[in-house]
Amino acid sequence: MPTSKDVAQAAGVAQSTVSYVLSGKRPISEKTRKKVEAAIEQLTYQPNAGARALASRKTRVIGLVIPFIPELEMGSIMEFVSVIASTARQFDHDILLVTDDEGAAGLSRVVGQQICDGLILMQVEDEDERLPVAAA
């Protein structure tokens, strides 16, 4: 798995330049940016999700809370999951599936650990105990 150091070496630039190209935090000349992008494509480089999350404070993960009802036909729910997951991927996000069998307590764990940037709740009720937790 290539690293940003490998990309920098292939592009003939400093590792910090690769970081700036990826983050967009500093202006980089068009020529240098294209060299870095070419090296990224050539090496099929993928940024480390953990490092990216630390630097940006964003996980790029969406929590999808699905109903846990053993007698329910999961086929219809999986259609929703499939559409949500493919749409998230179009925006460079991943999906974390969370079952709602633990209710608000389980959701508190996910929110408290900050393992996702946002939540999609399925089967929301009028007085749903999960809503205050999700809004936190």
Partnered with residue 65 across adjacent β-strands are 98, 121
Matching CATH number, 61-135, of 1.20.950, 2.60.40, 3.40.50, 3.30.160? 3.40.50
Residue holding tokens 């109903």? 67
Which residue ranges make up each domain of the chain? 4-47, 61-135
User: Phi and psi for 97 in degrees, rounded to 5?
Assistant: -80, 130
Q: Does domain 4-47 have CATH number 1.10.260.40?
A: yes
pLDDT digits (tens, 9 = 90+) for 84-127: 999 999 998 999 988 888 788 888 888 888 888 899 998 888 88
- CB 47 within 8 Å of CB 6: no
For 41-44, the CB contacts below 8 A with 24+ separation are 42/10, 43/2, 43/6, 43/7, 43/10, 44/2
Q: What pLDDT digit, counting tens, does each position of 23-65 carry?
A: 888 899 999 999 999 999 999 988 776 666 666 677 889 999 9
The CB density around residue 6, as the number of other CB atoms within 10 Å, is 16
Q: How far is CA 23 from the centre of its chain?
A: 15
Same fold: 4-47 with 61-135:
no
Distance from C-alpha of 21 to C-alpha of 40, rounded to nearest angstrom: 11
Q: How far apart are CA 52 and CA 67, in angstroms?
A: 31
Where do the DSSP E strands lie in the chain?
A: 61-66, 94-99, 118-121
Q: Give the per-residue pLDDT at 91.
A: 92
CB–CB of 77/123 below 8 Å?
Answer: no
Q: Give this prediction's pTM.
A: 0.64
